Structure 1
Amino acid sequence: MTINRKEILEAIAKAKQNKGERKFKQSFDISIAVEGLNPKKPESRITADVTLPHVPGKPQKILFFADGELARRAREAGADRVVGKEEIQRLEGKKKEIKKLVEEYDMTVAQADLMVLVGRILGPVLGPRGKMPRPIPSTADPAPLIERLRKTIRVMNKGQLCFHTKVGDESMDDEKIADNVMAVIEEIEKKVSDAGGRLKAIYLKTTMGKPVKVVVK
Structure 2
Amino acid sequence: MAKKKAEKKAEVTTEAPKEEKRRKRPGPANRRPSSKRHAENLTKVDKKKRYALDEAISILQDCKKTKFDETVEVSMKLGIDPRKSDQLVRGSVSLPKGTGKSVTILVFAEGDIAKQAEEAGADYVGSSEYADKIQKEGWLDFDMVIAHPSMMRHVGKLGKILGPKGKMPSPKSGTVTPNVGQAVKEFKAGKVEFRSDSGGNVLAPLGRLSFASEDLVANATAFIEHIRNIRPSTAKGTYMEKVCISSSMGPGLMIDTGK
1:192 and 1:199 in contact (8 A); partners too: no
- 1:61 aligns with 104
Identity %: 28
- 2:163 aligns with 127
Whether 1:16 aligns to 2:61 is yes
Where do 5+ consecutive residues of structure 2 fail to align? 1-50, 170-174
Change (3 A) 1:43 1:73: same
- 1:156 aligns with 195
The structure showing larger relative contact order (alpha-carbon pairs under 8 Å, at least 6 residues apart) is 1
Deviation of the 1:62 alpha carbon: 1.5
- 2:74 aligns with 30
Change (3 A) 1:70 1:203: same
Per-residue Cα deviation, 1:106-147 (whole angstroms, up to 9, x for no partner): 222222211122112x2221222232233333xx5x432211
Once residues 166 and 185 of structure 1 are traced to their aligned partners in structure 2, the CA distance between those partners, rounded to angstroms, is: 12
Per-residue Cα deviation, 1:145-165 (whole angstroms, up to 9, x for no partner): 211121221122212132222
How many positions carry a matched residue from both structures?
200
- 1:186 aligns with 225
Change (3 A) 1:185 1:203: same
Deviation of the 1:25 alpha carbon: 1.9
2:87 and 2:232 in contact (8 A); partners too: no
Deviation of the 1:33 alpha carbon: 1.8
Deviation of the 1:49 alpha carbon: 1.0
1:48 and 1:191 in contact (8 A); partners too: no
Deviation of the 1:199 alpha carbon: 0.6
- 2:253 aligns with 212
- 1:117 aligns with 154
What TM-score comes out, normalization by structure 1 length?
0.80
Secondary structure at the counterpart of residue 129 of structure 1: coil
Once residues 71 and 91 of structure 1 are traced to their aligned partners in structure 2, the CA distance between those partners, rounded to angstroms, is: 18
Which amino acid in the other structure matches residue 257 of structure 2? V
1:71 and 1:84 in contact (8 A); partners too: no
- 2:47 aligns with none
- 1:171 aligns with 210
Bigger share in strand: 1
- 1:3 aligns with none
Change (3 A) 1:193 1:8: farther
2:108 and 2:114 in contact (8 A); partners too: yes
Per-residue Cα deviation, 1:9-44 (whole angstroms, up to 9, x for no partner): 122112223x32322222212121222x22322334
Secondary structure at the counterpart of residue 201 of structure 1: strand
Work out which of the residue numbers 59, 63, 79 in structure 1 matches 2:122.
79
Where do 5+ consecutive residues of structure 1 fail to align? 1-5
What TM-score comes out, normalization by structure 2 length?
0.69
Once residues 131 and 200 of structure 2 are traced to their aligned partners in structure 1, the CA distance between those partners, rounded to angstroms, is: 38
